[in-house]
């Protein structure tokens, strides 16, 4: 009985230690660079930069709407605007082939003479491709302060 208990404890301890091993990861800064490049593309209306930051199957969920890069580009072309983004509170998880982040995004838009500020809670998912890290999913929802 004692031998079985000791073996069970040793097995459990070994399993616990094996699960705690650090998995190899990539640099979280690489994901942040991809995200910032995407938003720089929005700021500068640089569709090429936005496309290079995303996968071919990129999807954006924003406040109940579903977008692709093509639909985002069409909408951006409709309205003249300027925008300044400010990001903070990044939490980034990354392994060798995929990553995810959450963060806050504050944006100040100007549409002709109308100015509007937004606060969002966002999350983005990334995958490593043969061309490097690319964002394949972005979720944006309005941030409410209690």
In this prediction, residue 21 carries a pLDDT of 55
Give pTM, 2 decimals.
0.81
In this prediction, residue 139 carries a pLDDT of 98
In this prediction, residue 6 carries a pLDDT of 57
3-state secondary structure of 96: coil
CATH for 26-142 is 3.10.450.50
**Backbone φ, ψ for residue 113 (5° rounding):** -100, -5
Alpha helices in the chain, H assignment, sequence order: 2-20, 28-44, 47-52, 69-78
Residues (pLDDT < 50) of the chain are 7
In this prediction, residue 2 carries a pLDDT of 63
In this prediction, residue 113 carries a pLDDT of 87
**Pick from 48, 53, 52, 62: nearest CA to 31:** 53
In this prediction, residue 15 carries a pLDDT of 52
In this prediction, residue 28 carries a pLDDT of 87
In this prediction, residue 145 carries a pLDDT of 78
Q: How far apart are CA 31 and CA 136, in angstroms?
A: 11
Residues 6+ apart with CB under 8 A from 60: 66, 67, 68, 72, 137, 138, 139, 140
In this prediction, residue 46 carries a pLDDT of 96
């Amino acid at each position: 009985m004692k031998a079985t208990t000791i073996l069970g404890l040793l097995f459990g301890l070994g399993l616990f230690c094996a699960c705690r091993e650090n998995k190899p990861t990539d640099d979280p800064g690489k994901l942040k660079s991809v995200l910032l490049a995407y938003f720089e593309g929005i700021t500068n209306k640089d569709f090429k930069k936005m496309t290079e930051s995303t996968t071919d199957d990129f999807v954006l969920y924003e406040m109940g709407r579903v977008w692709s890069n093509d639909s985002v580009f069409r909408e951006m072309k409709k309205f003249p605007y300027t925008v300044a983004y400010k990001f903070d509170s990044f939490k980034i998880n990354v392994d060798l082939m995929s990553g995810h982040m959450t963060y806050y995004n504050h944006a100040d838009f100007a549409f002709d003479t109308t100015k509007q500020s937004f606060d969002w809670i966002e999350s983005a998912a990334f995958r490593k491709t043969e061309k490097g890290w690319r964002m394949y999913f972005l979720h944006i929802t309005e941030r409410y302060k209690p």
